[in-house]
Amino acid sequence: MRFVRLWTSNVRNLESGWIDLDAQQVFLVGSNGQGKTNLLESIYTLCYGSSFRTTLLKEIARHGERSFKVVGIYVDDDGLEHTLDLEFKDGKRSVSLDGKLVKDRKDLIYNIPCIVFSHDDIAFVRGEPEARRYFFDQTMSMYNPLFFDDLRRYRAVLRQRNLAIKEERHSLLPIYDQQLAHYGIAIQSERTRTVARFNEIFPALYRAISQSDLSVEVTYAPSWSACASEAEVIEYLSGHRERDRIMATTTSGVHRDRFIVSAKGQSFAQFGSTGQLRLASLVLRSAQMAFYEQMTGKKPLLLVDDVLLELDHAKRERFLAHLTPYSQAFFTFLPDEHYTSALGQEGAMLYTVTDGRFTGGQG
C-alpha cells in the first residue's frame, strides 16, 4: 500500500494543490517551519481521522480559516487504486472512501496502517503514565478490532459511572460495576499478553541499535493486579465505593494502569541519559512496527519526522537497518543534514520544502 498523490486545501501553511508521492521513499528537505511536518500530519490525519500533533482538528486549518480538506489517492496491496477524502467543515469531520461515507472511525483505522516517529515520542519513556497507555492502546488497536471496541465501551461506561458518582446516584453503581468489570478485565488480559509479546522484540532491538548490554523492557502494572476475573473486579469496585465517593471519580481500573519502561529493576527514566531515553523512544516505535507486522503480516506506512538528526551516524545506520520492511516511508530532513547510506533507494522522490511549496520530485 502506498499513496501516489495527495491534495490539500487550507492545511496550515501548505500551498493548496496536488503533490505526487508515487515512490516507496519520499524525502522532504527544508528548514524548520517550512511545512515538512504539515505534510506528514496531512497523511496521518487522512489515515486515522485524527492528528498526531493536536487533539483539535480545527487547529490544522490555515490561520484565519475554519475548514480544510485532504484527498489521497493510494494503491492497496492488490494493486487497486482508491480515493480517500477527509474534510473538516463547520466543526465536523467527514471522511469518504471511494465516494462512500465512512460512518465509524474504526472502519478507517484498519484501512491504512500508519506509524509516525516524532520528537514528542520521548513522552512514552519519561512522560506521564497516560502517554504510555496511549502508545500501547494504539499498538493493540492497530490490529485488534475487538480490543478497540472493548476500550471504547469501557470509556463510555467509565464516563457514566463517574457522572453517577458525582450526582450521588449510587443505586446505579452495581450496574456500571458489572459493565466496567466485563470490558476492563478483557482489556487487562489483552494488555498482559501484548506486553509479553512486545518484550520478545523491544529489548533485543534496543541492544542491537544501542550496541549496549543494557536490558530495557516494558513492565505492565495493572490497577486491578489482584483481580483475575470479572467477579473479583466487581467485588473490588464494591469494596472501594467510599473512596470513589470521596474522590468523586472511579479511582481504579484499566484507565489507571501503568506501563513502565524499565532497566536494572527500575524506571529507565530515573537514570537513563537524555540520549538513551530518546533512543528508547525511537526503538519503541520500531518495535511497534515489527510487532504489527508479526501480528498481521502487513507492512505499515512510515512517517519519520526529524528524529534521525538526534542519532549519531553509527546509531542512525543501525536504526535504519533494523526497521521492519515498510510499504512506503516519508522522511524529513534539514537542508544540511547528513544522508545515510541506508537511505536513497532507486526511484526515491526528493522534495525541497519552502513556505509550504514542494519542488523537485522523482529522484
The DSSP bridge partners found for residue 71 are 7, 85
Q: Are residues 133 and 244 in the same domain?
A: yes
pLDDT at residue number 354: 96
Q: What residue numbers bound the domain in which 29 lies?
A: 1-113+298-363
Quick one: DSSP state of residue 111? Answer: T
Instruction: Specify the 3-state DSSP secondary structure of 248.
Output: coil
Q: What is the pLDDT of the chain when averaged over all its residues?
A: 94
* Last residue of one domain, picked from the residues 295, 322, 347: 295
Cβ contact 42:57 at 8 Å: no
**How many CB atoms neighbour CB 244 within 10 A?**
18
Q: How are beta strands 349-354 and 25-29 bridged, if at all?
A: parallel
Going by C-alpha positions, the residue among 277, 288, 274 that lies closest to residue 115 is 288
> Mean pLDDT throughout 209-213?
93
Pairing of strands 328-333, 301-304: parallel
Amino acid at 163: L
User: Hey, what amino acid is at 340?
Assistant: T
Most distant pair of Cα atoms in the chain: their distance: 67
* Residue 5 sits in the same domain as residue 54: yes
Residue 26 pLDDT > 60: yes
In degrees, rounded to 5, the angle at the alpha carbon of residue 132 between the alpha carbons of residues 130 and 138 is 100
pLDDT at 106: 85
Q: What is the pLDDT of residue 264?
A: 86
- 139 and 85 together in one domain: no
pLDDT confidence band for 362 (50 / 70 / 90):
low
**Using one digit for the tens of pLDDT, what is the confidence trace for 145-201?**
999 999 999 999 999 999 999 999 999 999 999 999 999 999 999 999 999 999 999
- 143 and 200 both lie in a single domain: yes
CA-only gyration radius of the chain, Å = 22
Q: Compute φ and ψ for 335, nearest 5 degrees.
A: -55, -40
239 pLDDT exceeds 70? yes
CATH code at 224? 1.20.1050.90
**306 in the same domain as 287:** no
Indicate the number of domains in the chain. 2
* CATH number, domain containing residue 339: 3.40.50.300
Residue 336 pLDDT: 81
Could you give the CA distance from residue 79 to residue 72 in angstroms, rounded to a whole number?
15
Residue pLDDT, tens place only, 266-314: 999 999 999 999 999 999 999 999 999 999 999 999 999 988 887 888 8
For residues 311 and 167, state if they share a domain. no
The last residue of one of the domains, among 257, 279, 295, is: 295
51-60: pLDDT as tens digits = 999 999 999 9
Q: Do residues 180 and 84 share a domain?
A: no
Is residue 344 scored above 80 in pLDDT?
no
Confidence of residue 105 (pLDDT cuts 50, 70, 90): confident
Residues near 269 by beta carbon (within 8 Å), at least 6 away in sequence: 125, 126, 261, 277
What's the pLDDT score for residue 347? 79
Per DSSP, the residues of 254-275 read GGG-EEEEEETTEEGGGT--HH
> pLDDT > 70: what percent of the chain?
97
Are 108 and 223 part of one and the same domain? no
What pLDDT score does 341 carry?
A: 58
pLDDT of residue 172: 97
Q: Taking 60 as the threshold, does the pLDDT of residue 363 lie above it?
A: no
Question: Is there a single domain that holds both residue 174 and residue 285?
Answer: yes
Residue that is last in its domain, among 295, 317, 336: 295
**Cell numbers 450521588: residue:** 168
pLDDT at 310: 78
C-beta separation of 259 from 136 below 8 A: yes
Predicted local distance difference test score (pLDDT) of residue 314: 87
- pLDDT value, residue 343: 67
Same domain, residue pair 181 and 91: no
* Angle of the 202-210 helix axis to the 313-321 helix axis, nearest 10: 140
pLDDT for 314-341, tens place per residue? 888 899 888 888 999 999 998 887 665 5
Do residues 354 and 291 both lie within one domain? no
pLDDT 10s digits, 51-96: 999 999 999 999 999 999 999 999 998 999 999 999 999 999 999 9
Strand, coil or helix: 155: helix
Distance CA 45, CA 37 (A): 12
17 close to 7: Cβ distance less than 8 angstroms: yes
> Within this chain, do residues 272 and 362 fall inside the same structural domain, yes or no?
no
> How many Å from the N-terminal Cα to the C-terminal Cα in the chain?
20
